[in-house]
Copies of this chain bind each other. A is one copy, B any other.
Amino acid sequence: MEQTSGLAPGFAQANLAILPQELAGDFQEFCRLNPKPCPLLDVTEPGSAIPKKAASSADLRTDLPRYRVWRDGELIDEPTDIRDYWQDDLVCFLIGCSFTFEAALIRAGVLVRHIEMGVNVPMYLTNLQCAPAGVFHGPLVVSMRPLKPADAIAAVQITARYPDVHGAPIHLGLPEQIGIADLARPDFGDPVPVHDDELPVFWACGVTPQSVIMSAKPPLAITHSPGCMFLTDIRDDDLAVG
């Protein structure tokens, strides 16, 4: 089992994206313009795989359980170590992950269906466009968690306290308004049932930057493999505000 869900409870996990320096400026601007899907936890110096802020003793080339390597937008490898692909011009981006706010929901007694079911969260492409930056543009991807209305209200308040891990939901209740025709057919992840007494609640999702990077077809891009996140030294509590 390589998935990192449930490992190191109390510490934030992160999405990884690695790009050549010539694209890194545009991508960082894309993240700044779209903080809900792309909350930046750390950015390395060009050629460095050490995330000084998130985990100063880590090596992002070896410390994730599995990676995906993309050339011109095509998946070419899924290694457990990327030292063979390393270049001196690569910049690593660590982007907040919903595991932190899901832990906060569970602590508050709000059940999270996909975790209860032991499947991946359902994710959907929306008709909402991210703010573009250079070659990076594309639709917002959202994750969905079905909640009873009172729990949805609590979840808004709880997740709003975690702006660095996607923050408050971006939508709830009316999926067709954001271009989702069928909740039973997610674009990524697994479907989960939405009961009659529940509303679908949608959060901006860390798959957004991956989706945007892939459609930009950079000469080289490296990401974490789905579910195989980077374990930071940042405490979940330190990401809470207010």
Question: Would A153 and B174 count as touching, CB distance under 8 A?
Answer: no
Bound form: Cα–Cα A203–B146 in Å: 21
Verify if A37 is at the interface (C-beta below 8 Å from B): no
B172 lies within 8 A of A199 (CB): yes
Q: Size class of A's contact patch?
A: 10 to 19
Asked whether, in the complex, the Cβ of B199 is within 8 Å of the Cβ of A173, the reply is yes
A5 touches B (CB below 8 Å): no
Q: Does A160 contact B (CB under 8 A)?
A: yes
**Cβ contacts A185-201/B at 8 Å (1 or 0 each):** 00000000000010100
A149 engages B174 (CB within 8 Å)? yes
| 8 Å CB interface, A155-201 against B | 156-157, 160, 168-174, 177, 197, 199
Once the chains bind, are B153 and A172 in contact (CB under 8 Å)? yes
Q: Find out whether the CB atom of A153 lies under 8 angstroms from the CB atom of B150.
A: no
Taken together, the copies of this chain in the complex come to 2
A168 adjacent to B157 (CB under 8 Å): yes
Neighbouring B residues of A153 by C-beta, 8 Å: 156, 168-172
For residue A118, CB closer than 8 A to chain B, the reply is no
Complex Cα–Cα for A201 and B153 (A): 10
Name the one of B156, B157, B197, B242 contacting A177, with C-beta atoms under 8 angstroms. B197
The winner among A150, A169, A173 for most chain B CB atoms within 10 A is: A173
Q: A160 to chain B: which residues have CB within 8 Å?
A: 157
Residues from chain B with Cβ under 8 Å of A212 in the complex: none
Distance in Å from the Cβ of A112 to the closest Cβ of chain B? Answer: 18
Closest chain-B Cβ to A54's Cβ sits at a distance in Å of 27
Residue A141 CB within 8 A of the other chain: no
